[in-house]
Chains A and B, each alone.
Chain A
Amino acid sequence: MTIEEVQNEIIDEFSMFEDWEERYQYMIDLGKDLPLIEDQYKTEDNVIKGCQSKVWVHANMQDDKVNFTADSDAIITKGIIAILIRTFSNQHPKDIIEANTDFIDKIGLKEHLSPTRANGLVSMIKQIKLYAIAYQTQLN
């Protein structure tokens, strides 16, 4: 699936929820199910410092596609990470670089992408794109 197709699938899923409670409960569940980053990658180098919750991101490339694993100490943050990983993992670096993240607005989570939320998510998307740029350079 392309990034856009994955995003549309996520938008469809979220459109079934009637209120914030269902949306957040789903994110919390996603957070709980998120495959954890391997301990060896949960290092200070990989940490993205938001003001409040910590986020770790690790990336590797296989068959010209980038894979991400990540973790956070806050569960709602983990839920959003799970959504981002589902969107960007196993994609070609060029597609990751070019992808937009408007779908976050469409699933009612826009507030989490405001820089004032201090949850490290804005930095996380930036980090995902930086990894993609780095891997794209390797491919060129």
Chain B
Amino acid sequence: MLDVNNIRKDFPILHRQVNGKPLIYFDNAATSQTPQQVIDVIVDYYSNYNANIHRGVHSLSQEATDAYEQARLKIQNHFNAKHSHEIIYTSGTTHGINLIANGFSSLLQKGDEIIVSALEHHSNIVPWQMLCERTGAILKVIPMNQNGELVLSEFDSILNDNTKLVFVNHISNALGTINPIKYIITEAHKFGAVVLVDGAQSCPHIKPDVQALDVDFYVCSAHKICGPTGVGMLYGKEEWLKKLPPYQGGGEMIAEVSFEKTTYADLPHKFEAGTPNICGGIAFGAALDYMNRIGFANISAYENELLKYATEQLQQIEGLKIYGTAKEKTSVISFNVGNIHPYDIGTILDKMGIAVRTGHHCAQPIMDYFKIPGTIRASFMFYNTKEEIDTFITALKKAVMMLS
């Protein structure tokens, strides 16, 4: 069981006021809040052992290197990667996706096919379009149904021997749908296709096991998992990471350099050019420690309760329509009320201290599918409460009354 009152004590920001009202933070799918335990790690790093890593002979550099590499092991354990060098530090999910898209530029040929899902975030559409432009590959899309679920029979029918890459998010940021990635990975592998899963939205709620999934690449960002912004990870199977060319040139990623020839460093450093976000990496590890102490089974059970409760409450509001009603979904609710513009409702809710996201959630193809300009999205984490949902419902009713 999860003791939410105790957990809330860990998050200083949850105790501030916004516009004179206690903050209710329901924009967790955009970024999560940071517990004191992680903030302490950041403060400790800059107060006590800030130094550049890997090359220093002095003690500070050694301490920083140890902590940074220790964090990599934590990430490896968390995702159950076979080797620690299969974990590449990135600046976040988008960086990880671009690293792969760029790497495949030299491995794809004209006529090869790339499959993405209709539920993708822009960051998981645009890099592939750019890759297709560079290589002459063709982009195909797995469509979705009215519930916001992928139509797997369509996926089966577009999958063929020309399919080289499949990119799908584990959980949709706009609708909260949990995609059947195990099925997608298994089917794609039958045709020898490589699968990259975007875990930006899944990692806050579930603990993916990359070996059990047999996924080729998995990416996520620390800031969605109670860590800091500007750091994330790319998991890649060793065989694939060895095949891919380096993404950026610079320090750290080389073994030997002369003007005639440079040899690249081994994994993971081949993909980690330049001074990384050292403090961020260490704090990422601390964030995973924090989440694991609470336990992902507890987290998802509690969040499912919040989702169920909020959904029931919202459905009682006249004219309210929820977008994304997949059987398997996380604690994200996208909705509109009548013809009221989401921006108007978001503005009034903010006046009452409630943070939600409004707009197209960087997933315009989904909005086009439903023929709406955007939605209001409330997304919950394990530190939110039913009482907050009650206040949110009251505030929402008031906003609707003012705007009708």
Which A residues are within 8 Å of any B CB, using their own CB? 20-21, 24-25, 28, 51-54, 73-77, 118-119
- Report which of A20, A25, A76 forms a contact with B19, defined as CB distance below 8 A: A20
Given contacts A24-B402, A75-B403, contact A52 B351 (CB under 8 A): no
Residue-wise interface mask of B (323-350) relative to A, using a CB-CB cutoff of 8 A (1 in contact, 0 not) = 0000000000000000011111001100
B103 in the interface, Cβ–Cβ < 8 Å?
Answer: no
Q: Do residues A75 and B351 form an inter-chain contact, with CB atoms below 8 A?
A: no
Q: Do residues A52 and B374 form an inter-chain contact, with CB atoms below 8 A?
A: yes
Task: Give 15 new A-B contacts, CB below 8 A, not counting A21-B351, A24-B347.
Answer: A20-B19, A21-B402, A24-B348, A24-B402, A28-B402, A52-B342, A52-B359, A52-B373, A52-B374, A53-B343, A73-B341, A74-B341, A75-B340, A76-B344, A118-B359
Q: Which residues in A have their C-beta under 8 angstroms from that of B358? A: 52
What's the Cα separation between A88 and B402 when bound, in Å? Answer: 27
Residue-wise interface mask of B (379-404) relative to A, using a CB-CB cutoff of 8 A (1 in contact, 0 not) = 00000000000000000000000110
Complex: chain B residue closest to A112, CB-CB: B347
Q: Do residues B351 and A53 form an inter-chain contact, with CB atoms below 8 A?
A: no
Q: Which residues in B have their C-beta under 8 angstroms from that of A52? A: 342-343, 358-359, 373-374
Q: Which residues in A have their C-beta under 8 angstroms from that of B19? A: 20
Given contacts A24-B348, A25-B402, contact A73 B359 (CB under 8 A): no
A selection of 25 A-B contacts at a CB cut-off of 8 Å is A20-B19, A20-B351, A21-B351, A24-B348, A25-B402, A28-B402, A28-B403, A51-B359, A52-B342, A52-B358, A52-B359, A53-B341, A54-B373, A73-B373, A74-B341, A74-B343, A74-B344, A75-B341, A75-B344, A75-B403, A76-B343, A76-B344, A76-B347, A77-B343, A119-B343
Q: Do residues B373 and A24 form an inter-chain contact, with CB atoms below 8 A?
A: no
Q: Which residues in A have their C-beta under 8 angstroms from that of B374? A: 52
Complex: chain A residue closest to B20, CB-CB: A20
Number of A-B contacts (CB under 8 A): 39
Q: Which residues in A have their C-beta under 8 angstroms from that of B403? A: 28, 75
Q: Which residues in B have their C-beta under 8 angstroms from that of A74? A: 341, 343-344
Q: Which residues in B have their C-beta under 8 angstroms from that of A28? A: 344, 402-403
Complex: chain B residue closest to A72, CB-CB: B341
What's the Cα separation between A110 and B292 when bound, in Å? Answer: 43
Chain B nearest CB, measured from A75 CB (Å):
5
Q: Which residues in A have their C-beta under 8 angstroms from that of B344? A: 28, 74-77
Q: Which residues in B have their C-beta under 8 angstroms from that of A76? A: 343-344, 347-348
Chain A nearest CB, measured from B179 CB (Å):
27
Complex: chain B residue closest to A117, CB-CB: B347
Q: Which residues in A have their C-beta under 8 angstroms from that of B343? A: 52-53, 74, 76-77, 119
Q: Which residues in B have their C-beta under 8 angstroms from that of A119? A: 343
What's the Cα separation between A24 and B351 when bound, in Å? Answer: 10
Chain A nearest CB, measured from B229 CB (Å):
16
In order of increasing CB-CB distance, the 9 nearest A-B pairs are A74-B341, A74-B343, A52-B343, A53-B343, A52-B359, A20-B351, A76-B344, A74-B344, A75-B344
Q: Which residues in A have their C-beta under 8 angstroms from that of B341? A: 53, 73-75
Q: Which residues in A have their C-beta under 8 angstroms from that of B348? A: 24, 76
Chain A nearest CB, measured from B297 CB (Å):
37
What's the Cα separation between A25 and B344 when bound, in Å? Answer: 12
What's the Cα separation between A13 and B343 when bound, in Å? Answer: 25
Most B-side CB within 10 Å, residue of A25, A53, A77: A53
Chain B nearest CB, measured from A56 CB (Å):
14
Chain B nearest CB, measured from A60 CB (Å):
27
Cβ < 8 Å to A, chain B residues 353-392: 358-359, 373-374
What's the Cα separation between A119 and B344 when bound, in Å? Answer: 10
Q: Which residues in A have their C-beta under 8 angstroms from that of B340? A: 75
Chain A nearest CB, measured from B398 CB (Å):
9
